[in-house]
A and B are shown apart, each in its own frame.
Chain A
């Protein structure tokens, strides 16, 4: 209705095409002016607003857009169109907390201002003086918003710009995070939450030990964080470890998971070795000794900070990588298209993913093939240790490939495991850049690689992973808001409205009903998942999956540990340590990490693939790929109308729902006397009303293209890089200078 030709900063250009001038709009609009306001969430407060603001539409190159009002609240930046929008209401996959024109404050990554055609990064200092004609917001979920501020009153423009910049960029205290103001009513679907094990009670840990048949010791001495504030409230250690208080401040081997053979995976924080530190060496020996005692007296240790990129490397690489997806216009898109592959490579992001998976495979080999205990260490013990230990568990234990299992794993290793989410995600815009790093995202990336390589093995879909990666930056959940269990508890107590009596309760991210209705939640489930026949109800029973694992890898394939009894002589401690040391060297051999596990991978490859058994990723060049759904979902140029994997999946889900309908009908008929209906809510893939339309874009269920005209996207600037320097080009003819297209 109010779409204009090129406007704003470019209005001086002769190419200006406008059907109505801004003044006319004002006049037209003034009389029936109805104040539009966002539907606020409980606890949400509006800070400032400005009208009219032009939001550029990304759908095409032209500088067209929609007029509306821009608001800034304590939760989000939101744009409300003056036009009536039907889209939002008809969406199948709709987030209840924020829509397509909402940006949660935490989700803002960078703000750019365009001053006289020049794009400048906005930092705290720049805000005071001038407001830009155009404001560009890059989001952490890779959306790009462009707002033109020149149509509104100077005062309003200034206010909204400064407001947004202030709330999104300035350092702030944790108290200001919306989660503490949000007072959403607890959802009715609480029972679903229960299925995720939170690992915040001794029982959860005992159960997990029982499930994996671990014989380790549960530590309850840290209930009041007397041992360490960086350690979980409850954790599990090798039973051979003695008095914990004597090792205070030095870090313990914390149990992660036990293999069915009895060997187990441990992680520990380990400060960097200072030269000739006898005391430190002694402590390390004690820890290794305790780990080795866990099973058959064998252990390998791996210092992840030596063999994997640092968290700063990870941060830098991701910063480069994400730039390729924060695309502001079509010209940029096609320009970057030609150098796409080499740009990807230069960011190094995929290589970091490969290295993590590779390391995880190495650890898996130790556990599965050699039946050796493994201790992974790192300075903090809560970054790459979490990545590797979680990946190892996903590869080895099919339980973690179910949705609830996966959520429990994230709780166990990351949330209860004290990953410093607050610092790593930079939720508070701290100036200290050293501690920011997308470590959790890196983990999700690795999982995605596994999901796309072996999708029938996973109950959850890539959409689930994408949504989970977005949810980290939604400041409503307490899950990803703290640096440690101690931090969580102390803040929650202090922020509680009824101080001391009961701690504040924020929803956990696993209560998906806060964000999505049950129909939308169906997208979290992978229609390809090959459920274990007959064993559905026994998924969480301890030994069932283990037998399966053994089936997938017959014991004849791998020699049983020959060391049995060899190192039983416990007095010969020097020899033990030497052996342990030697093994650790070998494991982290830097020359060719791929070669070490190749044999293991190949022998696994030769066996028939059991989706409920051991799962190893392929790490060859073409196998490690870009998470298209997450990174390309907002870029209209790459949306395939009616195509992509979505089309196939839709078709599959349609069929699945038919089969389930039939099954239900049969069951109803079968059991007129005893109604035995399948009550699992999520299996009702009844979301398929959209299927018949058949015109879903490949970005479904995320971006919705308004461009229904079905015009193809024709690449521009094709020849810019493809300069064939060979004499071949001229074999048929003479190649001379630059070639222009069309």
Chain B
């Protein structure tokens, strides 16, 4: 937009001296109103609307439209424009694009002429053929606009430098445009006309054209901005589909969580994949064994423009839900399934190795199990890493986190050499050394025993738990968690003691 505005601004600066500008404008207005006033019944409301448009929208916008149309229609102007550009871009490619566009517009023109020719016969009657044609015209126009914008977009980086150079030629261009304009306006109007005639239900048909062109403008704005701002964003974000340009599908919760999506029409057996179903179908008769039946069903919709499908999560309030303010659609059904399970379902798969990590998608569990136990790099926050540099990256990022030092050496130190990996052995060793070190001071050890007696009293309801705990410890646990193991040691001691006292 800003390009166009600038160009228009330049134009206005250039042109005002000539009366041709105003003349041209009025001329345009006349031309515009002319057919609408004469043509049909449904557009009685149109003239005021049109006038509103004319007055409210700045003339520059109109000029803009005009100016856009010019290069589309006339190759000579193209050349003029092209001549003023610098060599940043490939002029021959541009020429190709433009001539292609020109051809397309001519085709469209022909079509519209055809429709006009037929209009007289089918007027007032909603004809299916006409509706189809109308759709065709709109689609073609859209594609032209899109291509035009993309062609213009390729110029963008070089535009600012060449702007001053371009203005002179654009000055001429403006006058030229003035000459050519009527026909283009005619064309447009003509394009509008059948729509009015056909779609009688539409309340403001000519306006719809305006809207589309406005839309086009908006779109171009958007795309231009994108070009300027996020030129080098990564591909995934680059998808960034405009709202409305794709179809949103939303599966229900039950549908998402259903184990099978393909069911046999004969026996009712469910399958995850269509291919598996097809394989299954072979058993139901020879008719399912033909290459046609076994082949992957191709989409017949290749002829009509395929509408992009995106998916919405059924969970209200989720960012992936279509009602969310910053809705981000999901690409495939598989994405929906995984997303829903991961974020809105219980994590029912527990890793059998570490007994701590839980997953809701079984594939995630399998991925984790591949690496579980290999994470020997531990942070003080409890996060484990399989690689040292990842741990150090984590520590760099978070204030106060430090790498944890495996504590097996601590136990080995007082107990002498103990290769026992299990905690039980460690605690036994520790126990012994504790007693031996304390045996010198008899009275204090007695005190401690008394203390333990008390502790037994305290912990008596826990005795069952402690037993469990001991059993639990026979798992080869990662040798970290200093505090917990010492606690376990205390408990197991007290447990032993309580057993003894129970015997007594």
User: Is chain B a partner of chain A in the same complex?
Assistant: no
